[in-house]
Amino acid sequence: MSKTRLTVVTAILIAVISLLLLGLRGYALGDDLRGPRGASSWKITIVASGSLRTEEGTVALSLPPDFRHQHITDEASQSKELSPARGKMQRREMIWRSARVDKGTQPFLLTYSFRCRVGMRQPTEAMKMTGRELDAAPKEGQWLRATSDIESDHKEISAQARELLGMGPHLPVDQVQALYDYVAGLMNEPTLNSRTALECLHGGGGDTRDKSRLLVALCRNRGISARLVGGLILAEGKETSPHWWAEAWINNHWWPMCPTHRHFGSRHLPNKYLVLQVADSDIFRVRNGQLRYEFTIQDLHAPFAAGDENPATGWRGFWHKWSLYNLQSDDQFLIKFLLLLPLAALVVSICRTALGVPTFGTFTPALLGLMFMNVPLLGLPWVIGIFLVIILIGWGLRHLLDRCHLLQVPRVSAMLTLIVVFLVAAIVVASQYGVLVAKYITLFPLVILTHLIERFWMLETEDGTTSSLRSLLGTLGVAAAVSLVALPPPVIDFLFTYPEALGVIFALQLLLGRYTGYRLAEIFRFRDLLQEARTPAQVS
């Protein structure tokens, strides 16, 4: 059997096996095809202790909402000293008071626990109803008013908002991005007492609640509805504390922003963020008493809890057990990036082998294309333009370093330092004109930039400036093609749901490896010779 025939047979066999596994997964999972209904399962216990005046003291707790992609089950509370206040229970809030009828001070211990499943892809009707209520469009003036802790109408808040936006972005999403970048850049520092938005501005930083209040105040000052969200970051441990972030009403939905851990938008907010309340108030509130509380989080790591209508058994249970959706959010992001690498390499192989586009290697344009993962489609020309400018400036700096005749390793280190200096200067200068360049520049790995400048220099030395520029433009073009093919959300979601599809990609790579025909660029380049070769045959 010839090598070509062996390659074709092997590729077909691998592709058939991959498609069979893909079909089996779809048949077994059915409605749960996009992953288990809960990507992870947790048990949260809140223990509160303190003292309460028996005649008029109360303890109120905000109950976690059952909405979006978080499903709350198995709620339970226990206290020997306190009893639920009859007629006082409200939706998403429970109130307790002392069980004693005599007057005095009552020490108490209160325990509240619940289970939650995050990453739900099939919300229940109750979850949808709660979501429609909490995620509804703000009413006129709602989430725009200044409060004692969010001084959005203060002159210093207004001055800071005007300075940040200036004559820069006009779209609401760009305005919020600029305000978020400023607050996210402030110091993260714990405080004994929560600060107001103005105090956070004066102090140049604060804890999660302080910075979120400042971000909300800046948004409200610019006429953008914004609110605070209190919750937890799900990570197993004995003790943890509440976490706060902000949401702004942009493009007809609430846009989450965490300035503490630098998450902007629902696509980048990890599933481990659990919402406990949508308000700027303490999760526990005590009247006529004192209270302290702590959380305990337990990772149950079970996509289905006991009592589910469709328990995972047989083949369905097998696919659920090994589903990539069972991974934690950080692991899921890494897996998505790794799954995209073979597809990106296939795009590069097609461009180089079939089209004849010159590039700096195979993996460089593939990695560059995937580095645009968090850039919207409209921002792609900006990214390519900034990248081209950086390469050309680095190439000029490389010319200057060549006069010193440095050794290779120190020279590369010096180039890295010069690139860092240029990037820092570019970010500072751009910020003075209200241009949000940082969110694009930070996406480029400095190692790849330094490597590309070295390759550009070497190719120029060997084949001339024209050849090196052609390879540079080819690398940028192929990187853009990788972004357009591999980074649309449906493509990422498909590969994450069907990792078996890598077999089909591998089969295509094998077939492409036996391609010996003309490249498209060669046909265009030698079109005159091909025309002359066909002319005698046509005459005869």
**Would you list the DSSP string of 436-482?**
--HHHHTTS-HHHHHHHHHHHHHHHHHH-HHHHHHHHHHHHHHHHHH
What pairing do the DSSP bridges indicate for beta strands 70-78 and 289-299? Answer: unpaired
- CB-based contact 434:168 (threshold 8 Å): yes
Q: Name the 3-class secondary structure at 416.
A: helix
- Can you give the pTM of this predicted structure? 0.59
Give pLDDT, residue 303. 47
Q: What are the distances in angstroms from CA 229 to CA 128, 209, 525?
A: 19, 9, 61
Side-chain half-sphere CA neighbours of 173 within 13 A: 10
pLDDT tens sequence across 435-449: 555 555 555 556 677
Q: Which helix (H) or strand (E) holds 518?
A: none
Rg of the chain over all Cα atoms, to the nearest angstrom: 29
| Residues in Cβ contact with 136 at an 8 Å cutoff, skipping those fewer than 6 apart | none
The whole-angstrom separation of Cα 153 and Cα 474 is 52
| Residues in Cβ contact with 78 at an 8 Å cutoff, skipping those fewer than 6 apart | 110, 111, 112
Which residues of the chain register pLDDT less than 50? 87-89, 238, 303-311, 539-540
Give pLDDT, residue 377. 56
pLDDT tens sequence across 366-421: 888 887 665 555 556 766 777 778 788 878 887 788 888 888 778 778 877 887 78
Nearest residue to 116 (alpha-carbon basis) of 67, 62, 78: 67
> What stretches of 269-379 show up as alpha helix (H) in DSSP?
314-321, 329-349, 363-371
- CB-based contact 503:14 (threshold 8 Å): yes
Q: What are the distances in angstroms from CA 45 to CA 80, 82, 238, 242, 472?
A: 17, 17, 10, 13, 56
What pairing do the DSSP bridges indicate for beta strands 40-53 and 289-299? Answer: antiparallel
Give pLDDT, residue 50. 92
Give pLDDT, residue 539. 47
Give pLDDT, residue 407. 83
The whole-angstrom separation of Cα 63 and Cα 354 is 60
- CB-based contact 413:447 (threshold 8 Å): no
The whole-angstrom separation of Cα 59 and Cα 164 is 42
The whole-angstrom separation of Cα 425 and Cα 110 is 55
* Distance, C-alpha 104 to centroid of its chain: 52
| Residues in Cβ contact with 305 at an 8 Å cutoff, skipping those fewer than 6 apart | 38, 41, 73, 74, 115, 117
Structure tokens of 515?
């391609």
Counted residue by residue, the chain has a size of: 540
What is the 3-class SS of 96-162, one letter each residue? EEECCCCCCEEEEEEEEEEEEEECCCCCCHHHHHHHHHHCCCCCCCCCCCCCCCCCCCCHHHHHHHH
End-to-end C-alpha distance for the chain, whole angstroms: 39
